[in-house]
Chain A
Amino acid sequence: MLLAILSGFLLATVAPAVHRQTGMNSGWVLAILPAALFLYFLSFLPAVGSGESIVISYPWVPGLDIQLSFLVDGLSLLFALLISGIGFFIVAYAGRYLEGHKDLGRFYVLILSFMASMLGLVLSDNLISLFVFWELTSITSYLLIGFNHEDATARRSALQGLFVTVGGGLALLTGLVMMAVVTGSYELSEILSSGDALRDHGWYVAIVLLVLLGCFTKSAQVPFHFWLPRAMAAPTPVSAYLHSATMVKAGVYLMARLNPSLGATDLWLILLGVFGALTMFTGVFMSIRSTGVKQVLAYSTVMALGTLTMLIGVGTDTAIMAAMAFLLAHSLYKGALFLIAGILDHEAGCKDFLQTGGLRHALPITATFAAIAALSLGGVIPMFGFVAKELLFEAVLEAPSLSGLLSLLTVASAILVVAVAAVVGIKPYWGPRVETPKTPHHEAPPAMLAGPAVLASLGLLFGVGVAMVDRGLLSAAAGAVYGSPVETYLSLWHGFNLPLMLSLLSLVLGLTIYFNWDRFRTATGFMDDLKRFGPERAYDKSMDGLVSISEWQTRVLQNGYLRYYLLTILLSTVALVTFSIARAGGLEIQMSLAGVRIQELAIVAVLLLAALVSVTTSSRLGAVASLGAVGFSVALIYVLFSAADVGITQVLVETLTVIMLVLVLFRLPGFLGLTPQALRIRDAVVALAFGVMVALLSLAASSTRFADSISEYFIRESEPSGFGRNIVNVILVDFRALDTLGEIVVLALAAVGVYAMIKLRAEDNRK
C-alpha cells in the first residue's frame, strides 16, 4: 500500500528522464502507473463492497503518534479509483496536449506527485499523515497552476489558490489536533467511533468551524470560491484533474469522512447545508454568466462542490447516497468536458464560448462526446447525471430541516445547470460556423480523445446500468460516510414523482435561458458591480493590507534610528522591571550611609560630576577628558576597597582607552547641537528612570543575601593548592582560567577586527 502511494513520487523523480527517453509517447508510458494503480485498487473492490474496511499501518513518528496508516473503505476506494482512473487519461492526454512544451518533463513530475499526494490524502487513516498529503496537494497544485510561470497572472492565481488553501489547511490542522486531543488518537478508524465524545465536548463548535474552514477553502465553498476559477490559469489537463475531479474534492472528501464523528448536529447541517446550497447556486449562476470555456466549467465545478457539501450536511441516507452518486457523475462528465475544452483550445484555439460555433463538422468525435457529457451534466435521462440529480431532489425535499430553502436553491440551480450544459454541449458545435482563432484541420490525437470518450461513455453506461456501481462501490462509500450501511439504492427510473417533475421543469426553463443567453447575461450585468464587495476583493484588500501593515511596521519599528531602538529596549526593560517590582509588592531595601569616609564621598562626588560633565559638555575632547576623570575615580574606588589588581587594570585600560580615543577622534568633528531641548529632556527622563531602576536593584540585592559567597574557598585554597599568594591572580590563571582564556580571545579578536577594518580601508583607498 505504501509503495502504491509513494510510487507516484518515485516515478516523478525519474519522469523527466523517462520523458527524454520516450519522446512523444511519454504520456502513454507514464500513464502505465496510474493504470496499474487503478487495477490495484480495483482489486480491493470485492472485499470493500462486502462491507469490509482495511487498515494498514507503518510507523513514522511514533513519538508523536504519527503513523503512515491507510484505511481502505468504500469512500476511500471510490476516491482512489477516480484519482487513478482519471489520472491515467490525464497523463496520457497531457503527453500530447503539451507535446513539445519545454517543461513537459517537469509537468510530469508535478502531476505524478500530485496524484500520489491525492491518493495519500484519501487513503490516510492517520489525521496527520492525511494533513501531510493535504498540504502536498496544495503545494503541487500551486506549482501546476503557475506552470506558465513567466505569466504574471498565472503566478498571481497560483499564489491566491495556495494562500487560500494553505490558510484553510492550517485551520484544519488545528481542528484535527483538537480532535486528537479530545479523542486521544489521530487514527480515523478510532476517531470515527468517538463521535459522541466529540459532539459532547466543549471544543466541538471550534473543531467543526476549524475543520470546515479547511474543507471549505479547499473545496471552494462560498465565500472562498473565488480562487478556483482563477486556478484555470493552469494547463487544461491540470484543470481537468485538479480542479474538477480530484483536489477540490479533497474538502468534500474530508467532510464526508468526518461526517460520522462530527455530523448529525444542527450546527453541521446548517453550516454545510446553507453554505453548500449558496455555493451551489453561486457557482452555477457565475457559470452561466461566464463565457470563457474554462471559466464556465470551473464555476460549474463550484456548483458541484456546493451540492456535495449540502448533501453531506443534510446527512440522511438518501442525501449521502445522492452525494456519492453525484460525486461519481460529476467526476466523469467534468473530466470529459475539461479535456474537451483542452481539445477546443488545442485544435481551434478557442478559449471563449463566444468564439465558437458550428465545429461539429471539423470535430465530429469531439462534438459527440461533448454532447454525451453535457447531457449528463444537464441531468438528462438516461445519463448517470440524471440518476444523481433525481436523488438530489429527493434528498433535499426530505431534508430534516431547511428543506424549503435547500429545495428552492437546488431547483434554481438545476435550471441554470441545464443552461450551462447547453452552452458547453451545443454552443461550440451547432449553429452557424464561427471564425475560430485557429482553423481545426483534424480531430485531436487518440491520446487526447481517449479520456473524453471513455469518461463521457461511462456517464452513459453507469446511467443505463446503475447496478454496476450501485451496490458495490457507491453503497460502500455511502455507508462509510453515513456511519452505518445505507438502505437507499439507485435506479434510473423512479416513476412520475416530484423530482422528475422538477427535472422536466428545469430542462425547459434551462433551455429557455440558453436560447436567451446573451440577454440573460446583459440583464444580470449588475452582478459585476457586486464583485467589488465580494470575497476576492477582500482577499486582495488583505494582501495589500499585509504589505501596508508591513511597511507601516517597518517605518515605525525598524525605522533606522538607533536611538529609537535603544529607547524602545530601555523603556521595555524599565516597564518589565517596574511591573515585576510592583507585582512582588515592592522590594526590601536597607539604606545606610553610615561609615562612609570623607575621601570616599569626595571621590564619588567627582566621579558623578565628571560623568555629568562628560554628558553635558559641548566639547568633544572635554568629554573624553572627563571620561578619564571618571576612570581614575573608579580606579580609586577599587583601590580604596581592596582591589589592587583591578585598580591597576582600570588605570591602564582607562589610559589606553583615552589614547585610542585620541588617536581616533582626531579626525572627527566636534559635537553638533543636534537634538531639540524637548527631546533631550525626554531622553534624560528615560536615562534617569533606567538609572534609578539599576540603583534600586543594586540596593535590594545588597540588602538581601541568600547564601555565603564561594570566595571563602579561593581564599583558603589559593596558596596551598594554587601555589600563589595573589588570590585574584590565582583565580584568573588557575581556578577560572577558562574565563581568562575567553578574555584574551576577545582581545585578540578585537585586534584582528580593528586590523581588518583599517587595512581593508587602506587597500580600498589605494585602489
Chain B
Amino acid sequence: MLEVSIFVSYVILSIALGLTFVRLVIGPSLPDRVVALEMIATLTVGFIAVYTLSSGVTAFLDVAMVLALTAFLAAVGFARLITKGGGVHHD
C-alpha cells in the first residue's frame, strides 16, 4: 500500500518538477522564474518527505528544514533585486 503511494507520489512530484521547470525556462520575467525556483524548493521538500518515508531514515528531514529556510532567503534576495530595478527591464 505505502510502497505504491510512495511510487505514485514520486511520479506526481517528478511531473510537477517538470512543469515547474518549464515555467523556470520560459519566464518570461525574472519574478516568474523566482517563483518557479521557490516551487522547486518546495518540491524538493516534498521529495525529501517521500524519500524519508521510503527509506525509513529520518535524518534527511534536516535537509528539508534548511531548504525551507534558504529558499525563502533566496526569494527575499531576488525580491530585493527586483525592487531595486535590477533584472526586469534590461534582463
Contacts and interface: CB of A to CB of B under 8 A. Distances in A.
A101 B81 CA distance: 73
Interface in A154-180: none
B4 interface: no
B5 interface: no
Interface residues of A, number: 43
A644 interface: yes
Contacts of A602: 13-15, 17-18
Contacts of B78: 621, 625, 658, 662
A603 B44 CA distance: 10
Interface string A647-687: 11001101110110011011101100000000000000000
A666 B88 CA distance: 11
B27 A639 contact: no
Interface string B48-72: 1011000001011011001100110
A437 interface: no
A606 interface: yes
B27 A622 contact: yes
Contacts of B33: 621-622, 625-626
B21 A663 contact: no
A662 B80 contact: yes
Contact of B47 (A628, A636, A663, A669): A636
A658 B74 contact: yes
A642 B90 CA distance: 42
A659 B11 contact: no
Contact of A635 (B13, B27, B30, B44): B44
Given A635-B63, A669-B90, A599 B24 contact: no
Given A628-B37, A655-B70, A648 B14 contact: no
A658 B63 contact: no
B66 A639 contact: no
Contact of B24 (A598, A629, A642, A644): A629
A613 interface: yes
Contacts of B62: 644, 648
Contacts of A603: 14, 17, 47
B30 to A, nearest CB: 5
B91 interface: yes
A666 to B, nearest CB: 4
A629 B60 contact: no
Nearest to B16: A602
Contacts of B40: 606, 628-629, 632
B63 to A, nearest CB: 4
A643 to B, nearest CB: 9
Contact of A613 (B14, B18, B25, B48): B25
A597 B10 contact: yes
Interface in B1-49: 7, 10-11, 13-15, 17-18, 21, 24-25, 27, 30, 33-34, 36-37, 40-41, 44, 47-48
Nearest to A660: B77
Given A606-B18, A610-B21, A626-B33, 19 more contacts: A599-B11, A599-B14, A609-B25, A613-B24, A613-B25, A617-B25, A619-B91, A621-B30, A622-B27, A622-B91, A625-B37, A629-B24, A632-B67, A642-B57, A647-B60, A647-B63, A648-B66, A665-B87, A666-B84
15 contacts: A620-B87, A621-B30, A621-B91, A625-B34, A628-B74, A629-B24, A629-B37, A635-B67, A639-B48, A642-B57, A644-B60, A654-B70, A658-B78, A666-B84, A670-B90
Closest 7 CB pairs of A and B: A602-B14, A655-B70, A625-B33, A621-B87, A659-B77, A599-B10, A666-B86
